[in-house]
A and B are shown apart, each in its own frame.
Chain A
Amino acid sequence: MIEIIVACLLGIFFGIVCGLIPGLHTNLVSSILVAILPIALNYISPFIAMIFIICLTITNIFFEFIPAIYLGAPEEDTNLSVMPGHELLLQGKGHEAVYLMSTGAKLGIFASFVMTFIFILFLKTTYPFFERMMFWILTWICIFIIAGEKNKMISIIFFILSGFIGIGALNNQINQPLLPLLTGLFGISGLIESINQKTKIPNQNLKLTKISFDKIKAPLIASLAVSPLCSFLPGLGSSQATIIGTKIKKLDRKQFLILNGTINSLIMYLSFVTLYLIERSRTGSAAAISSIITISFKDLLIIFCLFVLIGLTTSKLTLKTSSFIANKINKVNYSKISIGVITFLTVMSIIISGTTGFLVLISSTLLGLACQKYNVRKGILMGCLLIPTLLIYLPL
């Protein structure tokens, strides 16, 4: 019992650290975990290691909202939330932005209870069909994303160019290629723009307005429609699910943040259900767990209970941390913070991904900046992952 409690507390602690450090995504943390697990398993049981990974994962989901909103430094799952989140920050509502994403994440945890039964009933029988149709599903998603843009020609150019960068990043032997790729496209480019515009963060309002059920309905429906597909099909993740979700239901800025939060937690939990049902890992955490244990139905129930308990606890911790940061952020020079974050992310990219990774970072940052100058929505740049995946599933 004590071992379980210690594993939970350590998982929460490291989840907070990993969530708050910009650019340190769960997949990167999971790959570090997988490397050290063989040593750790000499001292702890696989079950305790699983508890630790789950607690770290859940905490990270909530705490990664904070650097995404306050520093404009997103990770793979939060990259699309940077723009609307940053807009709210500039209106003095950064804390509200974190609250909205946190509420969405809690919603996702409870929605996953319903989705688990649907998955258990249908996933095993339908999965082979979806896998065969993968190329056509991805093609449809690409068309769906571009069709919603105002200037389609420019959007297609940026989509294809981001696809080329993705191909370059994923086919050179770079360690953790997604780090420089997504950091450049969505993180550093946005931070450079903030410095250019001499962004000054206004006083942050800590008052939170209660979210009505009508406000939640649209993002909840959109996430329930999209997340299941994106949680078990390869090549699709939270970012793609968010883009599709916004096309299914028209959402305002606040609903978008709720959607992003819901999708993050829903997809993460459903990745464990997918691991149980069809033994496929779709997230770094699921891959880490699959390397040490074969999940049983009992383990799945334990994972769900942890998601609920730790999720509810962590959401409160996240809001407390957010209110602390919100009180301080307008007192510091935001340009200096942005420069500091850019330097940190660049150094991390070079250390982890090497010189070729640095080249990816430069290309992706330049494209992200160009995207902003041409007023193209940054969601288009998800071509960096969609096009390489499309090529893998090309039916030739």
Chain B
Amino acid sequence: MKLDKLLLFFSLFFTLLLLFLINFEKPIAEGKITRISSDKESTKIFLEDASLIWLKNRTKLELKIGNQIKVYGKPAENTNNTLIFAEKITCLNC
């Protein structure tokens, strides 16, 4: 195989491996919802360990107080991981 095709093949291989690894990411926060507040632009979810989950209002959210959730996303860099920008939320007891 020519070098250019080889490079492209291995690049694709490692990229697929990277995408596969996304399935093994650990949740950044986990807990019971104690409060939910919404405004025009965002929804804030408060967990029992004082974490604040922030998400933009783009999709309907069917979570209630008392739901146990796992949150995947990124922490805001200046808040000691207490503010989290959620990318995915999994509900465990919905």
Q: Which residues of A contact B (CB under 8 A)?
A: 31, 34-35, 37, 161, 164-165, 167-169, 171-173, 287-288, 291, 356, 359-360, 362-363, 366-367, 369-370, 373-374, 396
Contacts and interface: CB of A to CB of B under 8 A. Distances in A.
B15 to A, nearest CB: 5
A369 B77 CA distance: 33
Given A173-B28, A356-B21, 11 more contacts: A35-B77, A164-B16, A168-B21, A168-B22, A173-B25, A173-B26, A356-B18, A363-B14, A366-B10, A370-B8, A396-B59
A373 B18 contact: no
Interface of A is mostly: helix
A172 B25 contact: yes
Interface in B37-86: 59, 74, 77-78
Minimum-distance CB pairs A-B, first 3: A168-B18, A373-B4, A366-B11
B15 A165 contact: yes
A291 B11 contact: no
B14 A171 contact: no
Contact of A168 (B4, B19, B78): B19
B18 A161 contact: no
Given A31-B77, A34-B78, A172 B11 contact: no
Contacts, number: 71
Contacts of B78: 34-35, 37, 287-288, 291
Contact of B11 (A34, A171, A363): A363
Nearest to B27: A173
Contacts of A363: 11, 14-15, 17-18
A164 B59 CA distance: 24
Looking at B8, B12, B19, B21, the one whose CB has the most chain A CB atoms below 10 A away is B8
A362 B15 CA distance: 9
Contacts of B4: 370, 373-374
